[in-house]
Structure 1
Amino acid sequence: MLKIGFENGKYILDSVGTSSLAAIVTSIGIYTIRKYVNWGERNITYFMCFAAGVLISASFLHIIPKSLSMNPNAAVYLLVGYFGLHLLNRFLTVLVCQKNPEKEKYGLGLVPMIGIGFHSFIDGFIYSIAFTVSVFTGFIATAGMVLHEFPEGIITYLLLIRGGVSEKKAMVLSFIAAALTTPLGMLFSYPLISEIDKPMLGALLSLSAGALIYVGATHLLPRAEKEHKKYSFVALGGGVLVAVLIVLSKA
């Protein structure tokens, strides 16, 4: 079992505070891109490349190695996470988009929203567990995780818009998926913290990594490459660099 400390209520206050900070950072990203939505639409290819760089690199450099160190069967959950989101995409394409031609592009926004939402929910678990280990561990985890919250909110909102969702609905959905899920994950996991051992957390991390790799490598990059934007590779490299900074901040 992970080391648990319930000496006082400080741990849960710290967890609530930092998970709320992550939600606020994501919300700022959503608000900012909504205010400049026309600019965001013109540059969505760059946002897709940047987000793909962050999601793929962070998964391979940190989430997957961490999950493998916690659960020897993490690779199985990685595969389940990847193909689970693939099957969801197929389901949306066949049963929703094909039967409702006016919703043909819905999958473009909904699949990343679900993948990012699940990952943000697991982030809430990590905040909760990190602070029960120690306050210092919690703040170190927070420093790295908050870095990737801002672009997650932006890309979730823009892809929902590109998928045909109205601006108001896109704002609500992206807030729920990319921002609200983190404190919800923390609150959901905290009462169960004594039941969450390393193998279970490793499995959850691996599931989220599989989902993020699908979103980045199979969903975002192929669509971005169709746009043939001049500086798309630079945006991808920027995302990779941010992921490296996230990993270094957790080292």
Structure 2
Amino acid sequence: MKTLYLNLILYGFMIVIVALIGGAVPLIAKWQRKTIRLFISFGAGVLLGASFLHMIPEAADLIHDGIGLPLLFGFLSLYLFEKFIMVHACEAEDCNFHTVGLSALLGMSIHSFVTGVALGAGMLAPRLGLVVFLAVLLHKFPESFSLASILVHENYSRRKILGSVLVVALMVPLGAGLLILVLGKISSGVLGWLVAFSGGTFLHIAADDLLPEVHSASLNRKATLSIFLGGVLLMWVSHQFIA
């Protein structure tokens, strides 16, 4: 258990650092739209690969035929949530619809907390911790970039923008830590349910938030597709070593 908490501290620290870097980018320079979307494409591949190649098979080993319901519940929970507070990993001026200011901060905070729960569930399953962490880490950069871009558009000060990014980033280790603290010793059935639920949330993030960016007509589709497949390939390679 001590090693588990040490890993959580390390993972949380790295997630916060990457999030702050992503949040600082819009304050320092205006990146081209296509550049940030390359990160998004890679992150989509990693999340999709992590879900299909790692989390769903692990959950199936734990709960067998009962995997469908928690997987669907995880997917739908984020889908329904985003119907009310919708913030995507894109620049503020390019989103078709988004809420701003405090709504964006609240929405991404809850989103990050759920992501933290997924990380905690992955850490409780010995073969998933590093994989889920990597997927979360790679998603944090474009997510923080998105939040900072929205707040810049709303004329927030730099201090408030970075503070908001920090709050959202801290929700990940908070969610993971609470799950581990409350459910540190759980049955394989409960763990399987949590892993399947987490896999469903990853599928939603990849399919609904990120994959549309991969298919953007304004980008070089071959480049974005290659980078997307590179993310999937990374998860496949990791599966060969971890499985």
* TM class by smaller structure: 0.7 to 0.9
Matched, 1:236 2:228: yes
Q: Structure 1: any 5+ residue segments left out of the alignment? A: 1-10, 94-102, 131-136
Q: How many residues align?
A: 221
Task: Give the Cα separation in 2 of the matches to 1:168 and 1:220.
Answer: 28
Question: What secondary structure is seen at the aligned counterpart in 2 of 1:193?
Answer: coil
Q: Is the 8 A contact 2:214 2:228 kept in 1?
A: no
Matched, 1:181 2:168: no
Q: Is the 8 A contact 1:85 1:214 kept in 2?
A: yes
CA RMSD, Structure 1 to Structure 2 (Å): 3.1
Which residue of 2 is the match for residue 85 of structure 1? 78
The Cα of 1:232 is off from its aligned counterpart by: 1.4
Q: In 2 relative to 1, CA 249–45 (structure 1 residues): closer, same or farther, beyond 3 Å? A: same
Higher deviation after alignment, 232-241 or 15-24: 232-241
1:45-80 deviation line (CA, Å, top 9, x unaligned)? 112211111111110111011111111311111111
Name the % identity.
Answer: 22
Which residue of 1 is the match for residue 148 of structure 2? 161
1:90-122 deviation line (CA, Å, top 9, x unaligned)? 2236xxxxxxxxx94238x77676445313223
> When the two structures are superposed, what TM-score results if normalisation uses the length of structure 1?
0.73
Higher deviation after alignment, 82-91 or 142-151: 142-151
Q: Structure 2: any 5+ residue segments left out of the alignment? A: 87-95
Question: What secondary structure is seen at the aligned counterpart in 2 of 1:76?
Answer: helix
Which residue of 2 is the match for residue 15 of structure 1? 4
1:25-57 deviation line (CA, Å, top 9, x unaligned)? 212212333343336563221122111111111
Task: Give the Cα separation in 2 of the matches to 1:122 and 1:64.
Answer: 12
Give the alignment of 1:133-212 within 5 angstroms.
137=126, 142-164=129-151, 171-182=162-173, 184-194=175-185, 196-212=186-202
The Cα of 1:18 is off from its aligned counterpart by: 0.6
Task: Give the Cα separation in 1 of the matches to 2:168 and 2:234.
Answer: 21
Q: In 2 relative to 1, CA 92–191 (structure 1 residues): closer, same or farther, beyond 3 Å? A: closer
> When the two structures are superposed, what TM-score results if normalisation uses the length of structure 2?
0.75
Matched, 1:65 2:52: no
The Cα of 1:183 is off from its aligned counterpart by: 5.5
